[in-house]
Amino acid sequence: MEPNNPLKLGVMLLVAAIFLPLVFSEELNEPLQGQAETLPAPDYYTEQTNYWNPDFYSTSNPAKWQWNKVDWGLVDFSRPELYSLNQFYQNLPKEAYDKLDYSKVQYNNKNLDYKKVNHEKVNPNKFAKDVGCIDCKISIESARIPPADCVDCSFGSDESENWEEKKVKVTYSKEGITHANGDFVSIPSNLLSPGVLVNIISSGIELYLPLSVTEIAVPSKKDTVTINTFFLGILNVLGEEHPYLGVERELTYKGNSVKGSITFRKGQPQVTPGAETIINHVSISGYGPTGQVNLFFDGEKHSGDYVSTTSEKMIVGRGDGSKGDGRRITLSFLPKNDFFEVTDGDKLEMTPGFGSMVQIQSRPGLIPLVTVTGGGHGTDLDFTNGMNEYHLARNGKDTNFKVGTTGEGSVPFTLHVIDKEGNPGVNSEGQAAKLVF
């Protein structure tokens, strides 16, 4: 080994003394892994110029924003943390509602003051798309609303000229859209096939299905909507799509033909109030101040006001009126119905009274049998067969037959009247209330 050279050793020590402190100092200046390099300046969230920088809205903490300084045109609405802040909902300007991601809104968070959201400003089509109904079209009707101090509030009165025009009031939630009258449509929903029009008017929520859809899906038990059978078409004008209503058509629901309109109340099929519901070529109209007319497709007895049908049997039941069953039910049998041989020009209508029940049975090789069970609440049944009118009253014990001059337009069937105990009713002459047409 070569002996130590004092001069060479001194040079090496001098070099080490110069460079080692520099290296050690450089290592100290490197930040620790995972540690923020810098902290915002104390005035970071108060300085107005920061709110003019688009990057500020992607990197800063929204909980510390001063909302009167926010430039809403620069806000990054895709950030989930925005939707958990009360201040965000409280300060939303009108133009921001079109930019919201409605799938991120925390509708059910009880800690949020979601009531601050102005639901009239929500873009319904943006809402539907964000929550999963991409091809839905939603239209909200404007209605003229009388002021609170209105004296003569009848439409067409002098004061009606001063009524304010507002859109029908709806509220949006995680589940769907709720009408002010309680109607509700789930979004997404089995009912909302691609291209459907959700038409929200003053009386409720209507659905119009596109021409490609011929079957009504089974709704959820939350849905309260009316489906109209006019088909929805799309007209393309200068590159813009405009929906229009075509002619009325026949749809199916659980294998039954449906025409006119049908209402679902919390998923239960019903006759549309004040309109015509045609089921298997039987027109059913229900109207009156209270109650609903339920539709069943099992041919079984139910309670309240209802129509229950299969291809062999139909039962029409009337409530006694004590539970709000106040809707009048009229059935008109059309050609191609399952029970009577009705041709064009024939007329067969039935209107049962409170507490009564009408059962219609098709019988192979025989004419149909109509059995009327009296209810004891006044009129049991009014019906018209061709030129003949009939009135059955007081539990089937007082029967008035008004026979027309001809049998033109009448339909063959057997009519049997019984009381609630099953005893045969009698007419005004004491004869059994049984007729064969």
Ranges of each domain in the chain: 45-117, 131-270, 290-437
In degrees and rounded to multiples of 5, residue 410 shows phi and psi of: -85, 160
Provide, rounded to the nearest whole percent, the portion of the chain with pLDDT above 70.
72
| Mean of pLDDT values over 178-198 | 92
Q: In terms of pLDDT, which residue wins out, 430 or 416?
A: 416
Q: Is the pLDDT of residue 5 over 50?
A: yes
pLDDT (average), residues 361-386: 83
pLDDT digits (tens, 9 = 90+) for 129-154: 999 988 888 989 876 555 556 655 55
Of the pLDDT bands very low, low, confident and very high (cuts 50, 70, 90), residue 402 is low
Q: Residue 20: is its pLDDT beyond 50?
A: no
The stretch 203-231 carries a mean pLDDT of 92
pLDDT tens for 47-84 read 999 999 999 999 999 999 999 999 999 999 999 999 99
Q: Write out pLDDT tens, residues 291-333.
A: 689 999 999 999 989 999 999 999 999 887 666 656 678 999 9
**CA 405 – CA 386 distance, rounded (Å):** 10
pLDDT for 388: 82
Distance between CA atoms of residues 431 and 413, nearest Å: 19
Whether the per-residue pLDDT at 40 is higher than 70: the answer is no
User: Which of 261, 294, 290, 256 shows the shortest CA–CA distance to 275?
Assistant: 261
* pLDDT (mean) for 389-405: 58
pLDDT at 12: 52
Which of residues 164 and 26 earns the better pLDDT score? Answer: 164
276: pLDDT strictly greater than 70: yes
Question: Strand 388-393 and strand 398-402: pairing?
Answer: antiparallel
pTM over cut 0.95: no
